[in-house]
Amino acid sequence: MIAAMEDLPPLPDRVEPEAMRELDDPALEAVLASLQAAERATVAAMAPWQRQLRELQARAQEVFTEQRRRERAAHIAQRRAVREQAGSGEMPSLAAALGESPSPIAEERPLAEVPAFLATGGEVAFGYASRPGRLGFTDGRRQQQATTWGEARQLWADGWEPGAPGVLGVRVHLAGTRVERVVAAEEVVVSRSAIEH
């Protein structure tokens, strides 16, 4: 039951600073003692409120724990589904999708909108975390950046490989992070949700 404000201990009468100058030491000590007694009484009166607040915070943490458990379970299930779809060919590798004819993805679609995953299940996005949606290609000497699926397909058809001179591979970053890696085009798969659009 919620306590009424009247249950708070009363405040001692305030002594104005100017009036304190007129008090002798014992009287000043008495003012301080009454304030300290009121403070102790207030702390004691607050104890049930603080206990209830701690209990509410603990219960909220239990809810957050369950939410995290569900998020982690969903993440594990998603990774498992990606691995299964990659293994069955339902999610083609980037290399296979780039070379497929006709194109499984609309040519004008930005690479930033193509859902991609590592074959092991982790969701990734193309390019640097600071410059997402770009896919670098090289002919061994030069480098070009593709920002749409059609540009990437054209560079692939012209014999260019994903990567930079001397560093072949697809630069990706883990979705929602700044963690970047360079992986082979066969190790990245594209989602059917991208292919069906």
Is 191 or 46 the better-scoring residue by pLDDT?
46
Across 11-27, average pLDDT: 89
**Res. 89 pLDDT band, cuts 50 70 90:** low
Q: How far is CA 111 from CA 23, 33, 137, 143, 192, in A?
A: 80, 72, 14, 17, 14
Handedness of CA 193, 135, 104, 188 (dihedral sign): negative
**Res. 197 pLDDT band, cuts 50 70 90:** very low
**Domain segments of the chain: what residues?**
15-86, 91-195
What is the C-alpha separation between 93 and 188, in angstroms, rounded?
A: 6
**Res. 120 pLDDT band, cuts 50 70 90:** confident
Across 74-79, average pLDDT: 71
User: Chain-wide mean pLDDT for the chain?
Assistant: 84
pLDDT(91) > 80 = no
pLDDT(192) > 70 = no
Residue appearing with tokens 């390019």: 127
**Res. 77 pLDDT band, cuts 50 70 90:** confident
Contact 164, 138 (CB under 8 A): yes
Tell me, yes or no, if the pTM score tops 0.85: no
Lowest mean pLDDT among 33-37, 104-108, 151-155, 157-161: 104-108
Contact 117, 91 (CB under 8 A): yes
Q: Which range has the top average pLDDT, 13-17, 78-82, 143-147, 193-197?
A: 143-147
DSSP secondary structure, 132-146, as one string: BS-EEEESSS-EEEE
pLDDT(164) > 70 = yes
CB under 8 Å to 77, separation ≥6 — which residues? none
Across 108-136, average pLDDT: 88
Length of the chain (residues): 197
Is 2 or 190 the better-scoring residue by pLDDT?
190
How do residues 49-66 score in pLDDT, each as one tens digit?
899 999 999 999 999 889
Contact 111, 131 (CB under 8 A): no
